[in-house]
Structure 1
Amino acid sequence: MAVPTDSTPPTDSTPPTDGDPTPGSALDDAPGSTTPVDAAPAPAPAPTPAAGLRELLPLVRPHRRPLLLAAGLSLVGAAAALAQPALTGRVISAVAAGRPLLPAVAALLLVLVAGAVLNAVQSYLLQRTGEGVVLTTRRTLADRLLRLPVAEYDRRRTGDLMSRIGADTTMLRATVTSGVVEVAGSAVVGVGALVAMALVDVWLLLVTVTSVAVGLTVVVSTSRRVRKLSREAQEEVGAMTASVERALSAVRTIRASGATAREVAGVGESAARAYRAGVSVARVEALVAPAGSIAVQGAFLAVLGLGGYRVATGSIAVADLVAFILYLFLLVMPLGQAIGAWTQLQTGLGALARVQEVLALEPERDDAAEVGGATTAPRVPAPGSPAPLLELDDVSFAYPDGTEVLRGVSLAVPPGSRVALVGPSGAGKSTVLALVEGFYPLSGGAIRWAGTDVRELPRAALRARLGYVEQEAPVLAGTVRENLLLAAPDAGDDELWAVLADVGLTGVVQRSARGLDVPVGDEGVLLSGGERQRLAIARSLLSRPALLLLDEPTASLDARNEGLLRQTLAAAAADRALLVVAHRLSTVLDSDQIVVLDAGRVVARGTHAELVETSPLYRELATAQLLV
């Protein structure tokens, strides 16, 4: 595998591209991940809306059976817990009265063991259900993230989206396991304990309720801030993840630019903001525990004092006081659990709000489904047919702020022909390909496939007829085989080797004993720039598209490999049409038609020889590249 090194650069390492920008650069003419200089920045995402239990219910509804079972076990466990103080009182009474202890002790032990078993089963069910909720949410979120309109990715940072499917969904587990069900179970135990305490002694109950109510008031008023602060903390974690993703994705450029220390400082500052947000959450949560502790200790001391007095005066028996204190413990324990669960619930709802923000986004729309259009793309016209395969009719495109990129562009790609788009940077060439692929909605005009408006065709059916090779030629982490099978999952090894031979990559793969299963590294880092370009072209050719869209196909090739690729494209054009964006005019000299774009308009069209004579702009470009 041709790995770029300091000592031996790849034979087809990236040559200069005559000033042509790469996608996402400041001069790019395609609406990419970074806003071009001639367009207003994309509007910032709206603030994350609040989420409540109503938004949580759709996520837990598919798991309602195990949740109901866990809730039922919680009720039975609550009954077992409530029975324990009464049985303990019976043991004390039996000792005081000299009655046999075995029946009372056996009943108490049975209830203790049963309660422990029920709690274990309930805990397992809740943990499994929590994992199920996280799995369902991640699958739903991943489906939505991968189906968003391309413009949505322009507005948002990749790392922040990754944080939502990772850290935010993980927090939902605690919401289910320590939140909803435990709050319900704790409420049952608490209510039961209060009823039992009322039956034992009303005055002791009033002292208890007064002490606990003071603590609960502080807890509830404090926990209201937890959800908001937790959501802000998750936003900062998402921003930190985005900063790390940004740095790692360009680590070689950062190292070469001597900017490592600055990037480390930037990520560190982002981590510091996440730290400060987390500390704010911890500060508020820290107020909850002391408030609950003071309430509990105050209730316990008050009960001991008043209870001791009432025992001394003969108002209640010692066994009743012991039972009341045990009921107080039963009230205190679920109360503490409920306070913790409520805090967890608020934290989880803060994370849920970020998940819901993405789920609320509309996925990429298929116009054909809305207007009742065709269910398949029209048949491809035969070569030589008068009907064009692809036609752009007075197409315009503008950014949301109204900045125009294309102005009344019209062109036709006949079946089996080669059409090239040339022009200076920022002319709108790459934007044309993005619009053909349906990545962005048209501002005006129409794009037709075999005479049918593409808005009346299913987007998936149309894209199945197109092959698209971006300028940066993305290569997915994995193996050569996995990359090739991306668009043609049923292709056999013979087809894979054949298409590799077509683009001159056979030797690269044969250098490894693993053959087609040789890894390419993250984003194809184990391949040179030219090899990544050719692998992307091979991937598109393998799907046998009727129209191949190529954005700077030779930008990363040396002269030798450019010649080889030109032969490949000539062979590919024998049974398919090509629409090629090129700054290097030598790539497209033999095109059937060359369309010259400038400032978003078509200013000339014709063959190379015709344009040299008739188009000053084309003649200038050709002269600069020593082609005239």
Structure 2
Amino acid sequence: MSAAPGSPTPTDPAPAAGLRELLPLLRPHRRSLLLAAGLSLVAAAAALAQPALVARVIEAVGAGEALLPAVLALVVVLAAAAALGAVQQYLLQRTAEGVVLSTRRTVADRLLRLPIAEYDRRRTGDLMSRVGADTTLLRATVTSGVVEIAGSVLLGVGALVAMALVDGWLLLVTVVAVSVGVAVVASVARGVRRLSRQAQEAVGVMTAAVERALSAVRTIRASGATAREVGVVGDSAGHAYAAGVRAARLEAMVAPAGAIAVQGAFLAVLGLGGYRVASGSIAVADLVAFILYLFLLVMPLGQAIGAWTQLQTGLGALARIQEVLALEPEDDARPERGAAAAVVPAAPPAGTPLLELDDVTFAYPDGTEVLRGVSLSVPAGGRVALVGPSGAGKSTVLALVEGFYPLTGGAIRWAGTDVRDLPRAALRARLGYVEQEAPVLAGSLRDNLLLAAPEATDPELWAVLADVGLTEVVQRSPRGLDVPVGDDGVLLSGGERQRLAIARSLLARPAVLLLDEPTASLDARNEGLLRRTLAAAAADRALLVVAHRLSTVLDSDEIVVLDAGRVVARGTHDELVETSPLYRELAAAQWLVP
């Protein structure tokens, strides 16, 4: 089934994400995060002990006491703080990789389970960027940001308490200077998340442009459109650059604001502290300790500001991830209408209706009608063909049978049971679907054959390849069944890709085989071979075939003629030649009637 008319429209901007949306991603790693937080507490305590130990060394020098105990204690604390910091960083990095891994798996799982209609309205490249670029931003910004902010707050609070114990006036000057810087940083950081999200949206558009060009690179090259497509990709890259620069410009204001606050606090403490030492209000050792505590306050404050900025960037990416996770997946196990899923009935005896369409209507969300009251029946072991001009809705019928789209009206029944009351996955296991484009997955011939029948043996693979005339493809390579087919099957001809798709479907032994233009890419010799294969396949399964090439379906039990979404005629070839002007016109154009 083709996509909705027109190119996919851009999706709406992702809603903002906050810590509430972040917590579910962190919850599976809470033990590692708690351990890292515990190490952060110990490291903070070790850091807070250092100024007091330095002051003790100074006092020991002034009093002429032994220095070894104080120096040894200082060295031990320094070494312990360094070791704890290294362990904490490793633990955080490992946890961050775990968060990225689990998020990528979750996003990829959701992307592959979305309803088909979602792929019609979204660009593949943009969806790919959600798994790649967006999740990568979570590595340093989410996990490290949260823990570093928490650790920095704890260390800063401890430093403030210690500074208050040393001298209250110096603390007051410090708090005033630092508060001004923090206020400026907070006002700037509010816009970082929004601009970061815009930058990620621009990267998604650029990725989609690259994916679009690469997927049709041969057509682009043959059409002499390479320079134009390079321009399109370049323009999208330029938009991504501009969005990134806007975010960087705002982020660049954070560091100077913090630096001014730090320098102002340091100069104020030096000036007032020197005065208070000269007046005898505090000792030199206390001033040195206070300045060291000031550094312990300023360093984590700078780290917290940087971590907060990173966190805003990560939350911008998380918003795009959450947009995908908020989409409802297609539920393979439950029926559409919410009733308890019934067991898919077995195929009835030959000649009995197996697959039925009863007054089926379908329209796109924009109201464009595709099918209007289509009714037909495919008996077990029977062959039914759908023919008609392009755009009549033939491929849409097959897509609706597969359950790719919800019906607008009417019903589709399997052995008398409405398919909406049956589990999708179990029903699809009884259907073999060969698309018109005959997509081939990158990998080997064996990989493609085993897609729907992973337990098939090599003799079974060889047999089905012989049925569709692909044996020579295997034999011309020393790698046999493991011969590579290239990206999108580029190493195969169009006819070989078509036959491979049919072989893949036959291998799964479906009860109904849905074929969309199965001979569109075949020459006369291979068309004859495939017709014999389909005739043999029809002996123990039903066939519903869409065909433009009428020679493929001349011997069908029934041929249904569609035009503008309606059934305008039905019957055998001979009957339709006599009764249907449209069918006669189609047959005459292919030299099947005088």
TM-score range, shorter chain: over 0.9
Task: String of CA shifts for 1:503-531, please: whole Å, max 9, x gaps.
Answer: 00001111000000010000000001000
Is 1:211 the equivalent of 2:180?
Answer: no
Which amino acid is 1:222 matched to?
A: V
SS of corresponding position for 2:560: strand
Cα distance between partner residues in 1 of 2:311 and 2:162: 29
Deviation digits for residues 464-513 of structure 1, max 9, x if unmatched? Answer: 00000000000000000000000000000000000000000001111000
Distance in 1, matches of 2:5 and 2:525, equals 33
Aligned to 1:394, the other structure's residue is in SS state strand
In structure 2, the partner of 1:4 is none
CA distance in 2, matches of 1:572, 1:255: 40
Residues in 1 aligned to 2:341 and 2:128: alpha-carbon distance in whole angstroms: 36
| Cα separation, 1, equivalents of 2:270 and 2:228 | 62
Q: Deviations over 1:534-582 (max 9, x none)?
A: 0000000000000000000000111111111111111111111100000
Whole-angstrom CA distance in 1 between matches of 2:258 and 2:5: 56
Q: Which residue of 2 aligns with 1:78?
A: 44
1:369 and 1:614 mapped to 2: Cα distance? Answer: 40
Aligned to 1:436: 401
1:425 and 1:175 map into 2 onto residues whose CA distance is: 51
Aligned partner of 2:476 among 511, 517, 520: 511
Contact 2:93/2:144, CA 8 A, preserved across alignment: no
Matches within 5 A, 1:154-553: 154-365=120-331, 368=335, 371-384=338-351, 387-553=352-518
* Residue in structure 2 matched with residue 593 of structure 1 by the alignment: 558
Q: Are 1:130 and 2:99 matched, yes or no?
A: no
**Equivalent position SS for 2:373:** strand
Residue aligning to 1:607: 572
Superposed displacement of residue 369, structure 1: 7.1
> Aligned partners of 1:626, 1:348: CA distance in 2, in Å?
64
2:5 match: 36
For residue 87 of structure 1, the aligned residue among 53, 63, 73 is 53
**Equivalent residue letter for 1:556:** S
| 3-state SS of 2:519 partner | coil
Alignment match, 1:14: none
User: What amino acid is aligned across from residue 542 of structure 1 in structure 2?
Assistant: L
* Distance in structure 2 (CA, Å) of the matches to 1:319 and 1:44: 64
Contact 1:42–1:400, Cα closer than 8 Å, also in 2: no
After TM superposition, the runs of 4+ consecutive aligned structure 1 residues lying more than 4 A away are 41-44
1:24 match: none
Aligned partner of residue 368 in structure 1, secondary structure: coil
Tell me the distance in 1 between the aligned counterparts of 2:551 and 2:125. 39
Structure 1 pair 444/42, CA: closer, same or farther in 2 (3 Å)?
A: farther
Separation in 2, partners of 1:163, 1:263: 20
1:624 aligns with 2:589: yes
- In 1: Cα distance, 2:548 partner to 2:361 partner: 22
Task: Choose between structure 1 and 2 for higher RCO, CA contacts under 8 A separated by at least 6 residues.
Answer: 1
Partner amino acid, structure 1, of 2:524: A
Instruction: Supply the AA of the counterpart residue of 1:75.
Output: L
Contact 2:495 2:521 in 1 (8 A): yes
- Is 2:18 the partner of 1:49? no
Q: Which runs of 5+ in 2 are unaligned?
A: none
Cα offset, 1:43, TM superposition:
6.3
In 1, Cα distance between the equivalents of 2:293 and 2:315? 32
Distance 1:270 1:369, change over 3 A: closer
In 2, Cα distance between equivalents of 1:285 and 1:259: 39
C-alpha separation in 1, matches of 2:335 and 2:252: 55
Q: SS of 1:407's equivalent? A: strand
> Where does the alignment leave 5 or more consecutive residues of structure 1 unmatched?
1-29
2:78 paired residue number: 112
Map Cα deviations across residues 593-616 of structure 1 (whole Å, 9 max, x no partner): 000000000000000000000000
Moved more, 206-215 or 614-623: 206-215
CA distance in 2, matches of 1:427, 1:238: 35
Distance in 1 of aligned mates of 2:557 and 2:267 = 95
Task: Describe the SS at the equivalent of 2:105.
Answer: helix
Counterparts in 2 of 1:267 and 1:116: CA distance versus 1, 3 Å = same
**Aligned: 1:583 with 2:552:** no
1:376 shift after superposition? 2.5
Q: Deviations over 1:274-313 (max 9, x none)?
A: 0000000110011000000000011111111111111111
**1:562: which partner in 2?**
527
Q: Distance in 1 between matches of 2:142 and 2:356?
A: 54
1:382 positional shift: 1.9
| 8 A Cα contact 1:467 1:547, kept in partner | yes
Find the residue that maps to 1:497 and give its secondary structure: helix
1:332 counterpart SS class: helix
Q: Name the CA distance, whole Å, in 2 between partners of 1:565 and 1:180.
A: 61
Indicate the SS of the match to 2:137.
Answer: helix
One-letter code aligned to 1:424: P
Aligned length: 592
User: Do 2:336 and 2:420's aligned partners in 1 also have CA atoms closer than 8 Å?
Assistant: no
The 2-side partners of 1:178 and 1:129 are apart by 9
Distance 2:467 2:200 in 1: 49
Contact 1:406 1:428 in 2 (8 A): yes
Give a deviation string over 1:412-464, Cα, whole Å, max 9, x none: 00011110000000100000000000000000000000110000000001000
Query: Does the residue aligned with 1:315 lie in a helix, a strand or coil?
Result: coil
| 1:373 Cα offset (Å) | 3.6
Q: Does 1:151 align with 2:117?
A: yes
- Superposition RMSD on alpha carbons, in Å? 1.1
Q: What is the TM-score when the length of structure 2 is the normalising length?
A: 0.98
- 1:42 Cα deviation (Å)? 6.3
Check the 8 A contact 1:126/1:176 in 2, yes or no.
no
**What are the superposed Cα offsets for residues 162-211 of structure 1, whole Å, 9 maximum, x if unpaired?**
00000000101112343100000000010100110111011111111111
CA distance in 1, matches of 2:364, 2:243: 35
In structure 1, how many angstroms separate the alpha carbons of the residues matched to 2:337 and 2:153?
Answer: 49
Counterpart residue type for residue 445 of structure 1: G
**Cα drift, residue 364 of structure 1:** 1.0
How far apart are 1:372 and its partner, in Å? 3.1
